[in-house]
Structures are given as C-alpha cells and as structure tokens.
Amino acid sequence: MKIEVFGPGCPKCEQLERVVKEALSELNVIAEVEKVKDMGKIVEAGILMPPGLRINGKLKSSGRVPKVDEVKKWIEERP
C-alpha cells in the first residue's frame, strides 16, 4: 500500500500526515507513506488546495484534513 500526503509543509499538511500514521497504527497496517512537497507534483496530482491525500493512486482528499476514522475507512477499501 502506498499513501501520499501532498503539501508544502504547512501545519495542516503536517496534521494530515499525523492522522494517516495514527490510522495506520490503529489498523495495524504497514504502508509506505510519502510526503510530496514539490508544488509541481502537487498540482500534477490534481490537488489545487493542499493538503491532499492519495491512497494507492486514488485521490481521497484535498483542501482539508479528514478525521482518523475517515482515513481508516479509505485504507480498509484497499483491493
């Protein structure tokens, strides 16, 4: 499983990374979590307002920090 957290390093971007790690910990799931700070790559991913979250190539969130339970649900949707 690959999880990408998009954002230039703003407080909400850091918060999203913490939420993702908390969700993974609660589910006892191991995943590669990549922080993408390059604005070109952020825009290329379709994220017009960071932070953004992509799980296994699917954009799940943009412009907000989802709750831990919401991220857990997305992680459990994996194929």
**Rounded CA separation 71/16 (Å):** 10
Active-site choice (1, 10, 43, 49): 10
**Rounded CA separation 45/6 (Å):** 9
Active site annotation includes 5:
no
Structure tokens at 77: 């949707």
Active site annotation includes 13:
yes
The partner residues of 69 in beta bridges, in order of sequence, read none
Active-site choice (4, 5, 7, 13): 13
Show which residues are catalytic. Answer: 10, 13
